[in-house]
């Protein structure tokens, strides 16, 4: 896919960067060098959506050259790496893309070595630190991309905002889930900051800022990116409930067990009849929910009409995003790529 | 104390910066804005050693002006904030400077609200995210300090190295503690990266890089800073075992319960007679060690000669550091301040 042609170069940038960092870590201790192996494995593959949106935000704003923007865009994969590694610690999720999460991998090291102290705490410690390293490496990569100082200053300011919004959005997600019983508006606000801005709008803005200072283009990227980002997360929420474990890399019904208060779930609660509500109250957020229970919940969510409503919301947001793209002054080449990416991000068949 | 005169300005910089960030967090959600209150409280007071070393590294290299370097130096307090908040998560430490640690404070929020899900996991989540914010804010502050671009580029490169060494050193600390039974050389290597470089040498280098590019000065700061940093950590290790809880802000004997493999402890194991070894083996790293047990261990550590050896090592490193300072071409004003800071850092009577 043309829109994702950047993937091999992003991978190469990440690997080369990690090879350089390994020298520093090995100098501290070969044990620390081991962290690089985990990082390499974790950061190999993936859709590279954020890097792609950053790249096309740059190209779509008329930015020239390839090497520097590809290096800068690769930085977002480190930010995303930190977000995922720390997210798995916060959720106590044992798997990520069908493989053990990073804290589990450190736990396994501890078990294999028959070391002293709690293996769980060691796992958390290793994952917190590797996430911190990835967060550090992200801005390091951005700032050593070779993009000129003035553009880089604009880009770094945007990156600072994006990073703070991401962490705040993650906290809002934790908070809403703990507080429970929120509104659809609250669930949409979580989506906006945790995902829509962070995954799509801000990477586009970053790319744009690295090319030019142009308020009209920034607005166009918002008009295209925000609704698309919301649609992207709504699709993700559907997959979290109805998705195939083969495709999602997570056990079926994990979001139901965790009690994630997504728009889909809020709509189900809102639209439920009394008998449906009894099932929701009994089974939703039940930590030891059985496969039968997962199926019961799926049926209820469908029967309340929540699934259909979310699918229709996704379509509506997708169309809104495409219309905004069409009327914008984004370059033609980027329009084609962004249109392609919109399909990829909302159908999730990458 | 002249060497610590920067403290009020550092505090003001931190508070102003947090007030600006609060607008972004409140815009995400008032719930997220709450994180700022925890950050303000956590980052108020403290010795500001790292900021002070950065400031005097700058002044000692002939750097001009006050506002910009004081802003840049304040950034290190955010890095340190992240290190402490995440360290408490990794150690499962409930207190910090005699007050609840950040993950405990988030736990209390959860309890007070009678929220759903595990309060412990919520506490970890809040602390991981607030630490991530502090780590992000550190480089943001450094790069918006107003120092000129060329010097800032040199400074950021050094900062990147410092940050990676810090995380790797923290991991080495976790690893050594888990692996157990290391050598004195290993314990000294942990000290070097986790503390000596991070607390003293690298902040001095950062300040120097923000002023000039001068390899001779960098070497002088290493010659002064590395032995001093090791002495600083050795003093900290002694306080971790023999310190007054009033002074350390931690329960007596906490390091003994946690089983920290410090130089002091490695020397005690190395110098122990058979009966002493039996006590060490029985009580060291015992999670539920009683106050009587703490006293027994203290007596053994003293009787093995380990305490005396570490005190003598501190003196030796301190003298080495002072001699290096005397023969360097660091400015006279900074020499006076750094000499004062050396006493403050190793006697820990701030």
B281: left (phi over 0), alpha (psi -120 to 50) or beta: alpha
Distance from CA of B28 to the nearest CA of A (A): 7
Instruction: Determine the distance in angstroms separating the CA of A310 from the nearest CA of chain B, rounded to an integer.
Output: 23
Q: Point out the least confidently predicted range of A70-74, A115-119, A307-311, B52-56.
A: A115-119
Supply the pLDDT for residue B5: 93
Contact criterion met (CB < 8 Å) for B82 and A115: no
What does the pLDDT read at residue B32?
95
What's the average model confidence in pLDDT over B132-151?
A: 98
CB atoms A133 and B178 under 8 Å: no
Question: What percentage of chain A exceeds 90 in pLDDT?
Answer: 82
Q: How far is A250 from chain B (nearest CA, A)?
A: 20
- Quick check: B324 and B223 in contact, CB under 8 A? yes
Contact check, Cβ <8 Å, A174/B113: no
Residue A33: its pLDDT value, please?
Answer: 93
Categorize the per-residue pLDDT at B181 as very low, low, confident or very high, splitting at 50, 70 and 90: low
Work out the average pLDDT over A255-272. 91
The answer to whether the Cβ–Cβ distance between B29 and A172 falls below 8 Å is yes
Q: What is the pLDDT of residues B269-293, one digit of tens each?
A: 999 999 999 999 999 989 899 999 9
Structure confidence by residue, pLDDT tens digits, A203-236: 999 999 999 999 999 999 999 999 999 999 999 9
Please, what sign has the CA dihedral across residues A134, A139, A140, A144? positive
- Give the pLDDT mean for B22-51: 95
Q: What's the whole-model pTM score?
A: 0.95
Residue in chain B nearest A30 by alpha carbon: B172
Q: Which residues of B touch A164 (CB under 8 A)?
A: 21, 24-25, 133, 136-137
Interchain CB contact of A28 with B (< 8 Å): yes
Q: If you measure CA to CA, which chain B residue comes closest to A129?
A: B167
Phi, psi angle pair for A99, to nearest 5°: -120, 165
DSSP 8-class letter at A249 = S
Interface pTM, i.e. ipTM: 0.95
Contacts of B24 in chain A (CB under 8 A): 161, 164-165, 168
More confident residue, A182 or B136: B136
CA distance B93 to B100: 9
Assess whether pLDDT exceeds 50 at residue A350: no
Interface test with B, best of A117, A119, A169 (most B CBs within 10 A): A117
Burial of B203 (0-12, 13-18, 19+ CB in 10 A): buried
Q: From B230, B221, B236, select the one nearest B55 (Cα to Cα).
A: B221
Contact B145/B90 with Cβ under 8 angstroms?
no
Q: How many residues does chain A have?
A: 350
Residue in B24, B92, B179 closest to A113 by CB = B179
Long-range residue pairs from A110-119, CB within 8 A, at least 24 positions apart, any chain: A110/B178, A113/B178, A113/B179, A115/B178, A115/B179, A115/B180, A116/B177, A116/B178, A116/B179, A116/B180, A116/B259, A116/B285, A117/B177, A117/B178, A117/B259, A117/B285
Tokens 């914010």 sit on residue:
B133
A positions 195-254 inside 8 Å of B (CB):
none
State what percent of residues in chain B have pLDDT above 90.
Answer: 81
> What DSSP state is assigned to residue B2?
G
Contact B178 A132 (CB under 8 A): no
Average pLDDT over all residues of chain B? 94
Indicate the average pLDDT of chain A: 94
Contact call for A90 and B121, based on CB within 8 A: yes
| B184 touches A at CB < 8 Å | no
Contacts of B90 in chain A (CB under 8 A): 121, 124-125, 128-129
The confidence band for A348, taking pLDDT boundaries of 50, 70 and 90, is low
Is the CA virtual torsion A9, A14, A20, A26 positive or negative?
Answer: negative
Confidence of residue B348 (pLDDT cuts 50, 70, 90): low
- Flag whether pLDDT at B350 surpasses 50: no
Residues B196-247: pLDDT tens digits? 999 999 999 999 999 999 999 999 999 999 999 999 999 999 999 998 887 7
- List the single residue in A129, A131, A180 with the smallest CB-CB distance to B170: A129
Which sequence spans correspond to the domains of chain B?
2-347
CB–CB of A145/A152 below 8 Å?
yes
pLDDT top residue among A177 and A48: A48
Q: Does A164 touch chain B (CB under 8 A)?
A: yes
The whole-angstrom distance between residue B91's C-alpha and the CA centroid of its chain comes to 15
Instruction: Name chain A contacts of B35, Cβ cutoff 8 Å.
Output: 168, 171
pLDDT tens digits for B108-128? 999 999 998 889 999 999 999
User: Measured between CB atoms, does A327 come within 8 Å of chain B?
Assistant: no
- Mapped onto helix, strand or coil, the DSSP state of residue A145 is coil
The contacts of residue B26 (CB under 8 Å, 6+ apart) are B32, B33
Does the distance separating the beta carbons of B110 and A164 come in below 8 Å? Answer: no
Tens-digit pLDDT profile for residues A173-182: 999 889 876 7
Which residues between 291 and 310 in chain A have a beta carbon less than 8 angstroms from any beta carbon of chain B? none
Q: Do A174 and B125 touch (CB under 8 A)?
A: yes
Q: Give which of A87, A113, A139, A173 to mutate to test B binding, by max B Cβ within 10 Å.
A: A139
Q: Is A110 on the interface with B (CB under 8 A)?
A: yes
pLDDT digit string (tens) for A90-114? 999 898 888 999 999 999 999 999 9
- pLDDT exceeds 70 at position A74: yes
Q: Tell me if chain B has a CB within 8 Å of the CB of A143.
A: yes
**Closest C-alpha among B247, B197, B249, B245 to residue B224:** B197
Collect all residues of chain B within an 8 Å Cβ-Cβ radius of residue A140: 160
| Percent share of chain B, pLDDT over 70 | 99
pLDDT reported for residue A322: 97
Per-residue pLDDT for A45 more than 80? Answer: yes
The C-alpha of A163 sits at a distance from chain B's nearest C-alpha, in angstroms, of 7
Could you tell me the pLDDT band of residue B169, with boundaries at 50, 70 and 90? very high
DSSP string, A114-142: T-SS-HHHHHHHHHHHHHHHHHHHHHHHH
Q: In A, which residues are within 8 Å of B261 by CB distance?
A: none
Residue of A nearest to B287 (CA): A117
Is the predicted pLDDT of residue A42 greater than 80, yes or no? Answer: yes
Of A90, A137, A193, the CB nearest to B125: A90
**B55-109 residue pLDDT tens:** 999 999 999 999 999 999 999 999 999 999 999 999 998 988 889 999 999 999 9
Helix and strand element counts for chain B (H, E): 17, 2
The CATH architecture assigned to B2-347 reads Orthogonal Bundle (1.10)
Q: Does A179 touch chain B (CB under 8 A)?
A: yes
Q: A168: which 2 tokens? A: 């705040």
* Interchain contact, A163 vs B121, CB within 8 Å: no
């Amino acid at each position: 896919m043309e829109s994702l042609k950047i993937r091999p170069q992003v991978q190469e940038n990440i690997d080369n960067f990690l090879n350089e960092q390994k020298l520093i870590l090995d100098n501290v201790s070969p044990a620390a060098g081991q962290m690089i192996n985990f990082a390499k494995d974790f950061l190999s593959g993936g859709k590279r959506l954020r890097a792609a949106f950053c790249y096309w935000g740059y190209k779509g704003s008329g930015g020239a050259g390839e090497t520097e923007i590809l290096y800068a865009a690769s930085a977002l994969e480190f930010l995303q790496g930190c977000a995922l590694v720390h997210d798995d610690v916060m959720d106590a999720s044992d798997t990520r893309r069908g493989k053990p999460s990073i804290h589990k991998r450190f736990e396994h090291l501890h078990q294999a070595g028959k070391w002293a102290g709690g293996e769980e705490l060691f796992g958390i410690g290793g994952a917190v630190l590797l996430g911190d390293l990835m967060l550090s490496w992200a801005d390091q990569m951005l700032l050593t991309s070779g993009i000129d100082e003035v553009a880089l200053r604009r880009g770094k300011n945007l990156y600072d905002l994006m990073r703070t919004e991401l962490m705040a959005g993650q906290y809002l997600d934790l908070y809403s889930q703990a507080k429970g019983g929120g509104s659809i508006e609250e669930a949409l606000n979580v989506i906006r900051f945790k995902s829509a801005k962070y995954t799509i709008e801000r990477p586009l803005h970053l790319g744009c800022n690295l090319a030019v200072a142009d308020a009209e283009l920034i607005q166009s990227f918002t008009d295209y990116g925000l609704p698309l980002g919301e649609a992207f997360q709504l699709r993700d929420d559907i997959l979290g409930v109805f998705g195939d474990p083969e495709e999602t890399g997570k056990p079926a019904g994990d979001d139901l067990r965790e009690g994630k208060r997504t728009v889909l779930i809020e709509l189900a609660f809102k639209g439920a009849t009394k008998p449906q509500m009894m099932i929701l109250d009994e089974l939703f957020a039940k930590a030891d929910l059985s496969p039968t229970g997962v199926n019961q919940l799926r049926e209820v969510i469908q029967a309340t009409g929540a699934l259909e409503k979310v699918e229709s919301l996704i379509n509506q947001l997708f169309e809104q995003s495409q219309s905004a793209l069409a009327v914008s002054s984004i370059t033609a080449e980027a329009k084609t790529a962004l249109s392609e990416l919109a399909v990829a991000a909302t159908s999730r068949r990458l």
